[in-house]
Amino acid sequence: MGFLNNMRDVFGVPFYPVVFQVLMVLTFAIHIIFVNIVMGSTALAIWGRIKGGDYYIRLSRGLARTSTIATSLAIVVGVAPLLFVQVIYDPFWYTSAQISAWWALLFLVSIAVSFTCSYLFYLGGKGRGGSLFWALVSLAALLITAVIIHGISVQMLSPEKWHKWIDRGTHVDLSGGMIHTIDLPRLLHFILPALAITGVYLMLYGWYYRGKYSDSYVNWVASFGAKLALYVSCLQGLVGLWWLLTEKPHFMVHPLTILAVLGGASFVGYLFKIQNDPVDKAIPTAIFAFVVVLLMSAARELLRYLKLSSVGYSLYSYKLSLSLGSTVLFFATFIMGLLVISYPIMVAYKVGKSKEKLLELPELNLWGKIAVALPMIWFVVVAVLGLAISIKNGTLF
């Protein structure tokens, strides 16, 4: 216990750890949804190309484009939960990454390979089969990425085993060349939702393009997505039960765990109910899915907290070096980012639904000017603060 606490940042954390914990759960939920869409859309794009037929090929093209966009969003959003983990669980995360250092580096390579190949598949995918190779490589790289991040995340939960993993008897193995543990039901529980969440995405696809594409096509896509979400969610429930039974009883009977299980079961029941009307029920289904993912993410964090508490570590006892200035700047930057990114999202939304080749959006002009002005104001504020603090501390001159 003393060793783990001594590995903490001596300066402590700049704000209350529980805030970082809540933000970590929220941002992880958003991140994992984009990850699911990346993996699911890539797999279904491959299936559509192999299956053939007008609708499948058409959907494959659309999903090829989706995978590139979702990959960008998954990477950007994924920075946030990773940083929060590094702040409040730094002794565990850094140690786990170091004892599997080569794999931690390969994680970055596999992401880059997947991203590149998904673009090659999208840019070359005009209905011919020649670019299918790139989609297969992209999916393989995504699976490797999932296994690596899973292994590092699970290793950090077993500090009592670290010395066994590096002490080989005759020598201490610091090569970082191995992933030392894999929790198969947990891994599957985070991979299977790729198809379920992508199924919900296909329902949204049908809702979004209703009126722009033929009714037969959008209804087929939404119906296909609803069935996919239902069947895979049922399978995921069984895998989730398998995972749950491998954990200790105090996690299984915790109110948050029970709430997450009930949420997942209710979602499956709701999917049964909406099978005959997947287009009109796309929005409430997506909201329901997000709530369930958020509950699952909270249960995941609960499990981490309970496991590390069992070795005497509590993130709530982390030394607090309150820094209101940096905290205010952080949240202000976060809110500004939401305001800025909302403008291109609204433009893309309106352009995508329009049948016009040239579309004027006068109602968004003011919003666009604000979205351009805010980053400039932010740059000035940060520059002035940096100069003021540097002069005050005597580090500039």
CATH number of the domain where residue 136 is located: 1.20.1630.10
For the chain, give percent helix, strand, coil, nearest 5: 80, 0, 20
Answer yes or no: are the C-beta atoms of 207 and 222 closer than 8 Å: yes
Q: What is the pTM of this model?
A: 0.91
**Considering the chain, what is the average pLDDT of its residues?**
89
SS3 3: helix
Give the mean pLDDT of 192-216.
93
Give yes or no: residues 276 and 354 share one domain. no
Segment 101-111 mean pLDDT: 94
Query: Are 186 and 300 part of one and the same domain?
Result: yes
Q: Are residues 24 and 113 in the same domain?
A: yes
Residues 313 and 347 in one domain: no
**Domain end point (choices 305, 322, 339):** 322
User: Please, which residues have CB within 8 angstroms of residue 125's CB and are 6 or more apart in sequence?
Assistant: 45, 49, 60, 61, 64, 131, 135
> Averaged over 241-245, what is the pLDDT?
91
pLDDT-derived band at 187 (thresholds 50, 70, 90) equals very high
CA distance 141 to 117: 9
pLDDT tens digit sequence for 19-56? 999 999 999 999 999 999 999 999 999 999 998 888 99
Residue 392: give the domain boundaries.
Answer: 327-397
In this predicted structure, what is the pLDDT of residue 358?
A: 65
> Does the structure show a pLDDT above 80 at 387?
yes
Q: Does residue 127 surpass a pLDDT of 60?
A: no
Lowest mean pLDDT, pick from 4-8, 129-133, 174-178: 129-133
List all residues 6 or more positions away from 97 whose beta carbon is below 8 Å from its beta carbon. 104, 152
Work out the pLDDT band at 138, boundaries 50, 70, 90.
Answer: very high
- 237-256 burial code (b ≥16 CB/10 A, e <16): bebbeebbeebeeebeeeee
Q: Identify which has the larger pLDDT, 3 or 307.
A: 307
**Residue 396: pLDDT over 70:** no
Cα–Cα distance list, 132 to 43, 44, 48, 76, 299 (Å): 11, 12, 11, 26, 38
Domain count, the chain: 2
**pLDDT confidence of residue 129:** 45
SS3 172: strand
